[in-house]
Structure 1
Amino acid sequence: MAISPDPSAVRGWLAAEVRQRVVGSDAPTRAVELFETPGPRWFADDAPIRRVHADASMFIGGLRALLLQSLHPLAMAGVAEHSDYRADPWGRLQRTADFLAATTYGPIDEAERAIERVRRVHAHVCGVAPDGREYSAGDPHLLRWVHLAEIDSFLAAHDRYGAEQLTDAERDRYVAEAGVIARALGVPAPPETVRAMHDQLRSYRHELRGTPAAREAARYLLVQPPLPLAARPAYGLIAASAVALLPRWARGPLRLPFLPVTEALALRPAGKAVTRTLRWAMATDRHEQPAPG
């Protein structure tokens, strides 16, 4: 007679796996530091940014953001030449998740420390791209591009896969709230509405290219993730859902397919299923950590 697995055991195992990958071994201690330390925060408990960044749709949104960001040759050059995303992908993921958690949920002094850490790292990321142009991670123009790609991706994923849909006014609030963090990082005049976000994104279109480094990063993220075989089917659904959220103009340069019928009939239900499963597992934690961006 077949023995059915205990749902609570499966849930606990999945939650532990996600927590280990995204937050790291010190997750409980870090959660207390960010969520239970008294003091003022940048955002109120009911702020849209808290809802978006805590939702399982961020796994899809974060991957979409990385793919979209790679299309800027100077931003991609900085990642290719200075990032350890291949040698230490989980460490990079955990640092990104910690930054999102600190700035979204932590006390203001903790958020400011997280901002300062990133700015110190950016000060040392500079060089010459393969096309001969100089780049710097502290360049306000590049900072804005990275910010726009992130919030557009996080919001797009939440719109399609989030547990609770935002109203139009809440979507604008999300963009404005994310701008608080962006401004602290050095982004000039970040958008405060969805419409302004889309307008600013369009202004970068002529700068975007599918460079060899961008296509290599896309292959690594989508085809060669550093995951055990058992985790790859679920990750494959997340990856396919992230690609399906990209606009058509962003896919060609990365040599990614555009299959609208397949995406609507198969990928969208699959994406909803995988985010529901992750949400179910993450609900075992007292404090839900945001997924990476």
Structure 2
Amino acid sequence: MLLPHQLLENKIRGDFDKNIRSQFFRGLEFAGPEGDPGWFGPGSAVWHVHSHTSALIFGLQCAAFIERFDPSIFWMGSDHSRVVEHDEDGHPTGKLDLKGSGVRLAHSVAFFIGTAYGNTETAERVAQTVRAMHHTIKGVRPDGLPYDADDPEWLRWNYATVVWGIATGHELYHPTPLRNIDRYYGEFVRVGHALGGTDLPTTKAETLDCLRSYLPRLALTHGAALFTGPNLMENPDVPQEAKFFDWAIRDSMPDWAADMIAYRSPHPIERAARRAAAWAALNGSWAAMGPLPEFKQAQQRVANGTTVDHTEPAYVPGSDPVRSRETVEQMV
């Protein structure tokens, strides 16, 4: 007979297998070839940070929240992604598509696990897929301004939000956070380069400066307003777990971002209690799930040593073939 904690462990693992691994990890290789460290390898900060799946997912949610402050990001998502609901004519309604949001998150998890623990070929493959999708995201906002997911300024903003989100989730909620978080920022920049980014920040201080430098072009978009605070809490379609973590996500924001959403930190004692509850939830789910099999396979792949400390992304900007949206959809 299974004990309660074993039932919880089986459910969490089963949900991850059903909703993410079986659909979004197809074709990714973690077990071989022997000695291939991939882009990071054993002992890297990235291996340590990404091994805590719950904190990684939380960090991605933080990144998505701050990312939406860029109006172009909001309209890219409305026009091209599954995150926003569309009517029968294909026009965005502005409402959150919960199923589509789950698909987007699953793709993100597969990407950040694949680039962290996959062999070199797998890391290159998932990066190529994301670049191919970005190449198709071009359009015009309702106010007439064009947007382009290959714009270097957009790539820098997008990269900074992601590395900041993951690193912040790690610092706040990992049971053994890195003593020197700049190790992570310095390593993770390889992922940004693999997606075509240039002039990217490589430390926590540089990243915070980078994010703040975009403030003149940011705004509290309709998308950001819908998915926070009372608007989120009073939406009956939003899962309770999303409502539970909404405060923790807003609590993670830099001061200038908190000002944009009129967030004020509660009394220090209340804040500590809330953070403790979020810490318990994230680490409880992580303990129930255990290390991902992909992480264990990567460790076994280099158990007898590596050919090099790590490989480097091979992408040369402008070298990708032109693909239609339909072709790209078949790649994911």
For normalisation by structure 2, the TM-score amounts to 0.75
Q: Structure 2: how far apart are the matches of 1:37 and 1:187?
A: 28
**Would the aligned equivalents of 1:248 and 1:258 in 2 still touch at CA under 8 Å?**
no
User: Which residue of the other structure, out of 48, 51, 57, is the alignment partner of 1:51?
Assistant: 48
Point out the more displaced range, 104-113 or 258-267.
Answer: 258-267
User: Which residue of the other structure, out of 64, 67, 75, is the alignment partner of 2:65?
Assistant: 67
**Would the aligned equivalents of 2:82 and 2:100 in 1 still touch at CA under 8 Å?**
yes
Unpaired runs of 5+ residues, structure 2, are: 84-96, 297-332
Q: Residue 34 of structure 1 aligns to a residue in which SS?
A: coil
Q: CA RMSD in A?
A: 2.8
**Would the aligned equivalents of 2:59 and 2:166 in 1 still touch at CA under 8 Å?**
yes
Say whether residues 1:140 and 2:152 are aligned partners.
yes
**Would the aligned equivalents of 1:237 and 1:267 in 2 still touch at CA under 8 Å?**
no
Say whether residues 1:215 and 2:225 are aligned partners.
yes
Q: Structure 2: how far apart are the matches of 1:164 and 1:191?
A: 24
- Tell me the equivalent position of 1:36: 31
Q: Structure 1: how far apart are the matches of 2:179 and 2:236?
A: 35
- Tell me the equivalent position of 1:273: 280
**Would the aligned equivalents of 1:158 and 1:165 in 2 still touch at CA under 8 Å?**
yes
Larger Rg: 2
Q: Deviations over 1:140-166 (max 9, x none)?
A: 111110110111111111111112121
1:127-166 alignment runs, 5 A limit = 127-166=139-178
Q: Structure 2: how far apart are the matches of 1:102 and 1:220?
A: 36
- Tell me the equivalent position of 1:125: 137
Q: CA deviation at 1:218?
A: 4.4
Q: Structure 1: how far apart are the matches of 2:37 and 2:46?
A: 16
- Tell me the equivalent position of 2:186: 176
Q: Residues 73 and 26 (structure 1 numbering): CA distance in 2 closer, same or farther, change over 3 Å?
A: closer
**Would the aligned equivalents of 2:115 and 2:123 in 1 still touch at CA under 8 Å?**
yes
Q: Residue 270 of structure 1 aligns to a residue in which SS?
A: helix
Say whether residues 1:106 and 2:118 are aligned partners.
yes
Q: Deviations over 1:200-246 (max 9, x none)?
A: 12211221111223323547994458666xxx2x4433232111111
Q: Structure 2: how far apart are the matches of 1:211 and 1:122?
A: 21
Say whether residues 1:202 and 2:212 are aligned partners.
yes
1:183-262 alignment runs, 5 A limit = 183-218=193-228, 222-223=232-233, 224=235, 232=240, 234-253=241-260, 255=261, 257-261=263-267
Q: Residues 155 and 216 (structure 1 numbering): CA distance in 2 closer, same or farther, change over 3 Å?
A: same
Say whether residues 1:78 and 2:85 are aligned partners.
no
**Would the aligned equivalents of 1:63 and 1:239 in 2 still touch at CA under 8 Å?**
no
Q: Residues 89 and 124 (structure 1 numbering): CA distance in 2 closer, same or farther, change over 3 Å?
A: same
Q: Residue 135 of structure 1 aligns to a residue in which SS?
A: strand
Q: Residue 147 of structure 2 aligns to a residue in which SS?
A: strand
Q: Deviations over 1:179-213 (max 9, x none)?
A: 10101111112122222222212211221111223
For 1:34, give the aligned amino acid: E
- Tell me the equivalent position of 1:90: 102
**Would the aligned equivalents of 1:140 and 1:187 in 2 still touch at CA under 8 Å?**
yes
Point out the more displaced range, 211-220 or 122-131.
Answer: 211-220
Q: Structure 2: how far apart are the matches of 1:225 and 1:82?
A: 25
**Would the aligned equivalents of 1:15 and 1:282 in 2 still touch at CA under 8 Å?**
yes
Q: CA deviation at 1:95?
A: 1.1
**Would the aligned equivalents of 2:174 and 2:283 in 1 still touch at CA under 8 Å?**
no
Q: Deviations over 1:245-264 (max 9, x none)?
A: 112322343x4532332752
**Would the aligned equivalents of 2:51 and 2:291 in 1 still touch at CA under 8 Å?**
no
**Would the aligned equivalents of 2:228 and 2:246 in 1 still touch at CA under 8 Å?**
no
Q: Residue 172 of structure 2 aligns to a residue in which SS?
A: helix
Q: Residues 122 and 96 (structure 1 numbering): CA distance in 2 closer, same or farther, change over 3 Å?
A: same
For 2:246, give the aligned amino acid: A
Percent pairwise identity:
26
Q: Structure 2: how far apart are the matches of 1:194 and 1:213?
A: 27
- Greater helix content: 1
- Tell me the equivalent position of 2:179: 167
Q: CA deviation at 1:265?
A: 3.3
- Tell me the equivalent position of 2:302: none
Q: Residues 40 and 6 (structure 1 numbering): CA distance in 2 closer, same or farther, change over 3 Å?
A: closer
Q: Structure 2: how far apart are the matches of 1:147 and 1:250?
A: 17
For normalisation by structure 1, the TM-score amounts to 0.84
